[in-house]
Amino acid sequence: MSETPTTEHSTSDHPEGNRKESRHNTEDYRPKDYQAGADYLAEYNAEFPLMSPKTDLTRWKIGPFHASLPASMILNLVLDGEVISRCSVETGFLHKGLEKALELSPWSSLVPYADHLDPENAVFGELVVCTAVEEIAALEVPLRARVIRLILSELTRISAHLSYTVRLARSVGSDTIVHYVLRDRERILDLFELLTGSRFSLNFLRFGGVKADVTEGFIERVLEICELIKIRLKEYNDIFTYNFSFTRRTYGVAVLPVDMIQKCGITGPNARASGIILDLRKSSPALGYDRIDFQVPIGRGESGALGDIHDRYLVRLREIGQSIEILKQLTEIIPPGDFLEKKLENDIKIPTGEAYSQVESPRGLLGCHIVSDGSGSPNRVQFRTPTISNLLCIPELIPGTRIEDLPVVLASLDLGIAEADR
Amino acid sequence: MNTLDASAKLWTSEWCRALGFLDGVPTWFYFFLALVFTYCFVVIPSGSVLSYLDRKLSADLQARVGPNQAGPAGILQPIADFLKLLQKQSTEKSNWREDVWLSIHTMALYSTLAVMPLGTFALMLDTEMSAFLPFWSALVLALGTMLLGFSQGTVPGWFGGMRIAAQTMAGSFPALMGLLCTGVRTGSFQWSQLATIQGFSPLSWTVFSNPFQTIACLVFVTSGLVLSATPPLDGGLSMSDIHGGVASQLHGRKYSLYRFGRFYVFFLWSVITVVLFLGAWILPLEVSRFLSDKGANRILSILELILLLFKTFAVMLTVIWIARVNPRSRVDQITSLAWKVLSPFSLIALVGASLWMGWRNLG
């Protein structure tokens, strides 16, 4: 890659600066001359052309829909040959307005709406909302319900990490592992169906418990599938993880340094892959993992570069293994008793107050701030989603990689655009 | 031209005479018939059989079912696909540059039909230069594909075209060296000579004649994949970042034409590999002698063709098997493989094979 020239720009010259200023102008919120890397060309030295930085750069605007993008977003790339020398991201194409929708809906509709915060990890959206509301209303959750919630969370974590493997494998063009992994993920969705009646949008958690008790044979099936996935993890390693071509595509590519993680606030497996031990399941006993014996896998830098794509992938594979351990222990300690403190009315009113709750979702730290003014619907709902941080690091992480690696890097960051465009 | 006339007449004229007409037609007509015949009755059926086998086998590898609706076990799927592709129309307005380059690249591609070795009697151009002609065609094909990509005026087209050109440049040197190795053993580059020096038994195949020829065969096959951008070494046609590169702007029938062209290069390369290294079409000596004594040249050429295609499919399916299981390599990794690994090994093979032959001749 060519040397990136670093120069100071005044705010008004900088395209991003212009953009911020004109945000409020609805007619033309984006300046006409806005182009990624315009400042690159501003470096051109007319007197000594050969002294100028590269001028034969290509601009490529990808998106909002493209095969190399994991979701709807626009990437403005400046290419130096095949190497990306500059990159900027635009998101916000989903227009979900989820937070506003939650504020306008009654309390009883919060849980089904929260499913759609991140459709792939529906349980965590429900969980974070329920924990916040329970804190405001001081609702006690029965122990049995807490364990059922944890079982669902860990199953979702396994399912999410399996889908991550699928996306990564697709991005490097490996079809076979995709089908193997999807086949096993179906088994977990079967479990969701057995427990809740639906496979994706579960709508199963309730304020103060869960909607229903576990169905007959569910615990046995969970253990069965834990054993199955444990065996399958070895198969994945044989066919994919240490495949020569795959390691060549991932070793040392798109390394996330610790300072970038701290600057962008990256959490979850992406941070742990770079060696940062940061897991709410360990650090926050309120989540209920304090009685469980498990480890937090962190990146080991087997490829020689700590925090590259392969580390991010391996951390997730190991987390699947740890989730299996957690599930086994949960099935042992699940106590008898109620699954719901008391069934709440449809037009329930939550007392005045506010609360901030956090859970460790498969993508990282997921937070929810709810303000209640004692009326029939929340006054304010805000989410802190891990994908926002992952998006923030893209403009610094991508430059220097080749465009063939772009889909792989994006897949490795595990972007859930649904929760970023909430 | 005399050999050309003679050989072209030899096998097409027999088939024509059996039909009871076409006596005394000019040679070029026999030649033309031979091309059409080869394309319609060898290349296209091979394409359909192989596409079926590919889909069914990769479905088995990937724990899915594969085609199972058209006919028993989905065996009519290639026909259904063919009919569907025929009626597909382009969704975009025609771009004349694209049309021009697509036709040039298709013409360059199928000109190799004339030198395709398919049996003792199915050799149209059997000259000292025959074995080199597919290289010329592959290079023209790369140029055509590159310009096809450039003419599209899109980023995927540019990068796809450039990558194809880079891969072809990188792959052709080791492939050429691999071909020279077989020439060292044979002393000629005529298809008939290259084939008849081998026998039916694998022990007499060029690939097992000495260790250097084995290296040469591996290099030849691998560099053929690089050269023709065949999976798993198809970084130039990467699906995930540039939508398949040059193919990204092609629609409907044009896309089918392009894809079939890519299959054809793969097929051609596998046929050449079999002829050069893996015993060609040579039947057991007794069988071929018995049939030619009886004058049953047509049966003989059919049997030869079956054997040749059987070996070719084995080679192709092995490659497909590897491609299904492995991720796609990046284009810079592919070119560096070709320049830094395949090229040195091909030189080692060439020097080694030459010394081996010299030593044997001395002894």
Task: Report d(CA B146, CA B97) in Å as an integer.
Answer: 12
**Residues in chain A closer than 8 A to B326 (CB atoms):** 174, 243-246
> Given a cut of 70, is residue A132 above it in pLDDT?
yes
As given in the structure block, the two tokens for residue A382 are 């805000």
**pLDDT, average across residues B307-319:** 94
SS3 B91: coil
> Given a cut of 80, is residue B50 above it in pLDDT?
yes
Task: Report d(CA B236, CA B165) in Å as an integer.
Answer: 9
List residues in chain A touching B: CB distance below 8 A: 58, 60, 67-68, 82, 169-176, 178-180, 183, 239-240, 243-246, 248-249, 402-408
According to the model, what pLDDT value does residue A384 have? 93
Contact flag B327-A407 (C-beta cutoff 8 Å): no
As given in the structure block, the two tokens for residue A253 are 């590519």
Give the percent of chain A with pLDDT over 90: 50
Task: Report d(CA A419, CA A96) in Å as an integer.
Answer: 9
> Given a cut of 70, is residue B23 above it in pLDDT?
no
Partner A contacted by B241 (CB < 8 A):
yes
Grade residue B18 by pLDDT with cuts at 50, 70 and 90. low
Contact flag A67-B240 (C-beta cutoff 8 Å): yes
> Given a cut of 50, is residue A19 above it in pLDDT?
no
Alpha helices by DSSP H, listed for A197-276, are 218-236, 244-250, 258-264, 269-273
Distances (CA, A) of A50 to A39, A54, B56, B186, B338: 18, 9, 57, 55, 33
**pLDDT, average across residues A160-170:** 93
> Given a cut of 90, is residue A80 above it in pLDDT?
no
Q: Among A245, A249, A409, which would you mutate to test the B interface (most chain B Cβ atoms within 10 Å of its Cβ)?
A: A245
Q: Which of A361-375, B119-133, B170-184, B278-292 has the lowest mean pLDDT?
A: B119-133
Grade residue B241 by pLDDT with cuts at 50, 70 and 90. confident
> Given a cut of 80, is residue A220 above it in pLDDT?
yes
Q: Which of B63, B324, B331 sits opposite A404 (nearest CB)?
A: B331
Ordered DSSP codes for A155-213 = HHHHHHHHHHHHHHHHHTT-HHHHHHHHHHHHHHHHHHHHHHS-SS----EETTEESSP
Residue with tokens 């055509």: B144
**pLDDT, average across residues B140-165:** 82
Distance from CA of A216 to the nearest CA of B (A): 30
Task: Report d(CA A386, CA A76) in Å as an integer.
Answer: 22
**Residues in chain B closer than 8 A to A68 (CB atoms):** 240-242
Tell me which of A400 and B235 has the higher pLDDT.
A400
Grade residue B309 by pLDDT with cuts at 50, 70 and 90. very high
Strand ranges, E, within A243-332: none
Grade residue A38 by pLDDT with cuts at 50, 70 and 90. very low
As given in the structure block, the two tokens for residue B26 are 């000019």
According to the model, what pLDDT value does residue A32 have? 41
Instruction: Note whether A403 and B155 are within 8 A (CB).
Output: no
Partner A contacted by B63 (CB < 8 A):
yes
Chain A residue with minimum CA distance to B232: A173
According to the model, what pLDDT value does residue A54 have? 55
Grade residue A180 by pLDDT with cuts at 50, 70 and 90. very high
For residue A360, what is the enclosing H or E element? strand A353-361
Q: Which residues pair with A139 in a beta bridge?
A: none
Task: Report d(CA A219, CA A221) in Å as an integer.
Answer: 5
Ordered DSSP codes for B141-180 = HHHHHHHHHHHHTSHHHHHHHHHHHHHHHHHHHHHHHHHH
Q: Which of A67, A173, A174 sits opposite B243 (nearest CB)?
A: A67
Q: Which of A104-113, B207-216, B254-263 has the lowest mean pLDDT?
A: B254-263
**Residues in chain B closer than 8 A to A249 (CB atoms):** 327, 329-330
Mean predicted lDDT score pLDDT of chain A: 84
**Residues in chain B closer than 8 A to A82 (CB atoms):** 159, 331-332
Task: Report d(CA A38, CA A56) in Å as an integer.
Answer: 13
Tell me which of A227 and B158 has the higher pLDDT.
A227
Partner A contacted by B66 (CB < 8 A):
no
Instruction: Note whether B276 and B194 are within 8 A (CB).
Output: yes
Mean predicted lDDT score pLDDT of chain B: 84
Distance from CA of B49 to the nearest CA of A (A): 22
Grade residue B154 by pLDDT with cuts at 50, 70 and 90. confident
Grade residue B297 by pLDDT with cuts at 50, 70 and 90. confident
**pLDDT, average across residues B74-103:** 80
Closest CA to A207 of A369, A343, A384: A343
According to the model, what pLDDT value does residue B239 have? 67
Contact flag A67-B238 (C-beta cutoff 8 Å): no
Predicted complex ipTM: 0.84
Do you find a cis peptide bond into A399, omega within 30 degrees of 0? Answer: no
Tell me which of A256 and A54 has the higher pLDDT.
A256
Q: Which of A173, A175, A403 sits opposite B62 (nearest CB)?
A: A175
Q: Among B326, B333, B341, which would you mutate to test the A interface (most chain A Cβ atoms within 10 Å of its Cβ)?
A: B326
Range A98-384: architecture per CATH: Orthogonal Bundle (1.10)
**Residues in chain B closer than 8 A to A166 (CB atoms):** none
> Given a cut of 70, is residue A288 above it in pLDDT?
yes
According to the model, what pLDDT value does residue B261 have? 83
Contact flag B159-A82 (C-beta cutoff 8 Å): yes
Q: End-to-end CA distance of chain A, in Å?
A: 36
Closest CA to B278 of B222, B224, B199, B351: B199
Distance from CA of A160 to the nearest CA of B (A): 21
**pLDDT, average across residues A402-408:** 89
Contact flag B159-A68 (C-beta cutoff 8 Å): no
Grade residue A31 by pLDDT with cuts at 50, 70 and 90. very low
According to the model, what pLDDT value does residue B22 have? 61
Partner A contacted by B336 (CB < 8 A):
no
Instruction: Note whether A234 and A228 are within 8 A (CB).
Output: no
Distance from CA of B232 to the nearest CA of A (A): 9
CB neighbour class for A293 (10 Å; exposed up to 12, middle 13-18, buried from 19):
exposed
Q: Name every residue whose Cβ is closer than 8 Å to that of residue B22 and which is 6 or more positions away in sequence.
A: B16, B29
B200-223 core/surface letters (b: 16 or more CB in 10 A; e: else): beeeebbbbbbebbebbbbbbbbb
* Rg of chain B over all Cα atoms, to the nearest angstrom: 21
Q: pLDDT tens digit string along B202-219?
A: 888 988 988 999 999 999
Contact flag A243-B235 (C-beta cutoff 8 Å): no
Distances (CA, A) of A420 to A89, A95, A123, A258, B239: 13, 10, 17, 22, 26
Q: DSSP state, B107?
A: H
Q: pLDDT tens digit string along B347-357?
A: 999 999 999 98
The sign of the torsion formed by the CA atoms of A400, A405, A406, A411 equals: negative
Grade residue A17 by pLDDT with cuts at 50, 70 and 90. very low
Residue with tokens 């649904």: A418
**Residues in chain B closer than 8 A to A58 (CB atoms):** 155, 158
Contact flag B327-A406 (C-beta cutoff 8 Å): no
Chain A residue with minimum CA distance to B238: A404
Closest CA to B158 of B98, B93, B242, B99: B242
Report which residue type is found at A38. Answer: A
Chain B residue with minimum CA distance to A175: B324
SS3 B290: helix
Identity of the highest mean pLDDT range in A278-287, A362-371, B252-261: A362-371
Tell me which of A44 and B145 has the higher pLDDT.
B145
According to the model, what pLDDT value does residue B279 have? 87
As given in the structure block, the two tokens for residue A5 are 């020239």
**Residues in chain B closer than 8 A to A404 (CB atoms):** 235, 238, 241, 330-331
